[in-house]
A and B are shown apart, each in its own frame.
Chain A
Amino acid sequence: MAPDSVPRYAPAFVTTVIALMLTSAVFLLEPWPFTAFRLFSVARVDQQSAWSATVVNLEGEELAYPLGGEDHGFRGFPFTMAEFVEASRERQDELCRTWVEGAPTLIDEEAREVRLYLRTWRLSERDGDRAASGETVLRYVCTDLGASVAEAGSQP
């Protein structure tokens, strides 16, 4: 059997693949698996912030709510929160209802409300091998009706 020959489309294919990689990077596009390759590209700073959630169940107990964990598609919580703070009122309500309705699935508890806390801390301030806890403030409260902004200064 004769060896294969280089297909006529091969040069165009090579050019297209390289062009797609370069274009995605230059214009910060993410047509996965092509990507902008922005891995750790923004320098990390000392000041950090992160969102966490709790559930208030029907008995009024406040329980940890592992949004951002690995289960049932809720893992994008940190990224969804970046959208949430900038989102329209309707979108905030939609996300809030989703998190309230997700409680029975994730922690086997009906939720009267979901509380969203913002923690801020400095990586350089250490408590042994861990970062010092910083400050945690309640920012939003979710119910099955939607989102509301928490009263200033509420602590967990």
Chain B
Amino acid sequence: MSSVRRFVFAAEDARRLAGLRIALFGLLAIRLATNGDYAQVADQPAALFDPVSLFHLLSSAPSSGLTTVIQALAVVAALCAAAGAYPRVSFPTAFALALFLGLMLNATGKIVHNDVLLMLCLLPLLAAPSAASRAWSLKSRREGSAAPALLDPAYGSPIRLAMIIVGLAYLLAGLQKLRFSGLDWVTGDNLRYVLLSASDSQAAPNQLGLLIAEHEPLFNLFAAGALVVELGFILCLPFAKLRWVLVPAAVGLHAGIWLTMDLDYLSQALTVVVVFVNWAWIAEALRPESRLWPPRPGRRTPI
């Protein structure tokens, strides 16, 4: 337990946390601004309204007019949060409005996972609005407190919790496959049928998916690879060097799903990259004069 505590409350650079804030809320703003699905499910007939989570408090889907207003406000709030403006207001507002819109998509009978990891990784920022806005923010610029090189556990704990959330998300997804399907998920024809079904549902047959589906060792190997990445990803928390393998592997997994099944998990893939990139290191690489001096303890690698 103490090793978990040491991991979570390790000191990190304020700029790394700021980078996480900018990238995650920026990604949220883009997702909210470009997703036309909210308008599509607005005005849903009451008989088809199938709420999950907090939407059980509503009796029917929101109107299209209300949805448009909420979507616009959510984008503005997310941009303010990314900029570090009024973080105690903008962070929870952006999250709450994005949650509302996300729950709309989940009220049509299917759990939508595309933005789950992004939303979960925003939670650590919600709990630390001040720390997350210490560097690279309108708030710090306005207050004249732009201290770019602060190392403290206050900046580390939101980053580390986001890492744990990503690691747990992949681990749980992998364990659920073993729980409901066992090793048959890998050794049987499961992935073959998944790829055939996905190809059949696309406008034109997916030749890459069909190629894998038609070669028995190949689809078993890809299934094994997917499961190994999901179950093994959490190892990159204690073993930092594994991030060089597992972060690209997770991105590759989502790229493969997109190429063969036409399922867009770009938001999740970007979230993984954003959480594990050391934004302070990137800043120092781009502007060497911004390096900490004298050097202080802490991780000084790109991821």
Docked CA distance A134–B238 (Å): 51
Partner of A4, one of B102, B154, B165: B154
Determine if B157 and A6 form an interchain contact, defined as CB atoms under 8 angstroms apart.
yes
Q: Which parts of A1-50 form the interface with B (CB within 8 Å)? A: 1, 3-7, 9-11, 13-14, 17-18, 21-22, 25, 30-46, 48
B262, chain A: closest CB distance, angstroms: 14
**How many chain B residues touch the partner (CB < 8 A)?**
76
Interface of A is mostly: loop
Determine if B188 and A43 form an interchain contact, defined as CB atoms under 8 angstroms apart.
yes
Decide if B61 is an interface residue (CB 8 Å cutoff): yes
Binding stretch for chain B, among A55-63, A72-80, A107-115, A145-153: A72-80
Partner of A3, one of B9, B113, B152, B194: B152
Q: Which parts of A103-139 form the interface with B (CB within 8 Å)? A: 123-124, 129-131
Fill in one digit per residue for A57-96: 1 if any B CB lies within 8 Å of its CB, else 0.
Answer: 0000000000000111111101110010000000000110
Docked CA distance A13–B14 (Å): 20
Determine if B116 and A35 form an interchain contact, defined as CB atoms under 8 angstroms apart.
yes
A69, chain B: closest CB distance, angstroms: 9
Fill in one digit per residue for B104-125: 1 if any A CB lies within 8 Å of its CB, else 0.
Answer: 0010111101011001100110
Residues of B within 8 A of A30 (CB): 52-53, 106, 111
Residues of B within 8 A of A1 (CB): 143, 145, 147
Residues of B within 8 A of A97 (CB): 47
Partner of B197, one of A74, A79, A123: A123
Docked CA distance A86–B220 (Å): 35
A95, chain B: closest CB distance, angstroms: 6
Binding stretch for chain A, among B18-26, B126-134, B240-248: B126-134
Residues of A within 8 A of B110 (CB): 76, 79
Residues of A within 8 A of B275 (CB): none
Which residues of B pack against A, CB within 8 Å?
A: 5, 8-9, 14, 37, 40-45, 47-50, 52-54, 61, 99, 102-103, 106, 108-111, 113, 115-116, 119-120, 123-124, 127-128, 130-131, 134, 143, 145, 147, 150, 152-155, 157, 161, 164-165, 168-169, 172-173, 175-177, 179-181, 184-185, 188-191, 193-194, 196-197, 199-200, 205, 207, 210
